[in-house]
Structure 1
């Protein structure tokens, strides 16, 4: 560390963290959109259709809310003391929603959205 006594710019750190989380959220959002597409292509007679569609839509909605929270976290200045309490609450809310989203995506995987995606891909690429 140069200078030995350099202060860490907490706002810059928080902004970098929020941007990194947002990138991961976009990747998961795209993955869930693909899962939803494959489940919808299978149709309502597929096993666990309603469950999968519901879980994927809830996950997508939570990801939008998380993204909005991360935008607010990145906009507010953490170096201003009056913002720190509010930012802490927003960060805690985002963390809880991320945890819930992970659990929902575990259930999506358990109910076979990946299986549905691979079946849809095989059906569309090899129409026998």
Structure 2
């Protein structure tokens, strides 16, 4: 359930970044890192779910994969914090966006 909460939080942050558009200072970096980490975490969780924990030869591998997934989840949370801190705030009007980032 925690992974679903992280996924929903990440989706909300990505939506905010996409709404800001390429005028956001770290647009490409935030978009790439967020999407890449979310895909890697999802793949890790699928692999972890497929392996049998009861088999002794899989336990070491599952422990390593679990540690990697936990680390990537932490990094994703930190990136979401940076998205919020770096000014990717949701704006409802196009006028507010163009006023703060004139082109």
Return 5+ residue gaps in structure 1 as ranges: 1-19
The 4+ residue runs of structure 1 with deviation greater than 6 A are none
Pairwise CA distance, 1:21: 4.1
Does 2:15 match 1:34?
Answer: yes
Q: Which has the higher contact order (CA 8 A, sep 6+)?
A: 2
Question: What does residue range 91-110 of structure 1 map to in structure 2 within 5 Å?
Answer: 91-110=66-85
Q: What is the CA-CA distance between 1:92 and the residue it aligns to? A: 0.3
Larger C-alpha radius of gyration, 1 or 2?
1
Q: Which of residues 10, 26, 49 is equivalent to 1:51?
A: 26
TM-score by length of 1: 0.65
SS at match of 1:50: coil
- The answer to whether 1:74 aligns with 2:45 is no
1:112 is aligned to 2:97: no
CA contact (8 A) 2:44 2:69 kept: yes
